[in-house]
Structure 1
């Protein structure tokens, strides 16, 4: 793609990607590699801590919630090991409180899933205090809502009643939403 955001030659291109969704993190690693980064993938806090200990990366994209702990522990360890690292916290559980916590722990920015590789690269390569430009084709609010419901539904082992309880929704309302196709 001609409009892909690219790493500048000569810059430290090391990138630590931490997410327990192996399919997602491997796909993101390939996309970031095409943009000039040199990704290292970790699927747990333990793997990420080992990667930070061995060779702290100049850039990192860290999921907030991992199977074996919090991504904030990795943020703190990377910030201690390399003060100049650009760290993006990426999560499906976007909330103001967690965004504030991530920034206080040393994250440079905070993105909610789903974010594409260009959004992530733009956040990693952002310089100065200006906000990055808005995405060219952002998801609609209906699509973001649908994606969140689908994620919680899968995490509840496709149990409609449990999903409805956790989302504070009526079960029948949730069933109607799940029966529809995804919004554009």
Structure 2
């Protein structure tokens, strides 16, 4: 009987964080949402305006027997600039900062270890500022944000191209992507 787990990652705009995780066996769902703030059931407007304290996140439901948490981390890091404390790429502000929200002690240990390994790798000259903290209540984003890359392909591709995310990934992670 499969034992599914949840992993939650903040990596800036959640539109850009869904697709990298969806194509693998053992990944059951990737849902855009919000975590880490003070308002119950926040709206996209509240989060984007910075009034809620939440970050845009993706919640990944996965089977660790098929796709281990450590493998999720190897996908997560190359999607972000882990040295930017002010947001990600063109998306600025608290709601677009990076974080790993752990749901168990094993996830916490794995996340901290992967962050330490990245810092020691010499890949970046600036410090790794991605937070690692306990998961809180996950609030699913509005329906139009779910699988945005599929339903609004042209808008997704234009936003992604304009953001600078892909250029950063190519420059800094070309050996891993």
**Higher relative helix content:** 1
TM-score by length of structure 2 reads: 0.30
**Higher relative strand content:** 2
TM-score by length of structure 1 reads: 0.29
Identify which of structures 1 and 2 has the higher relative contact order when contacts are C-alpha pairs closer than 8 Å and 6+ apart. 2
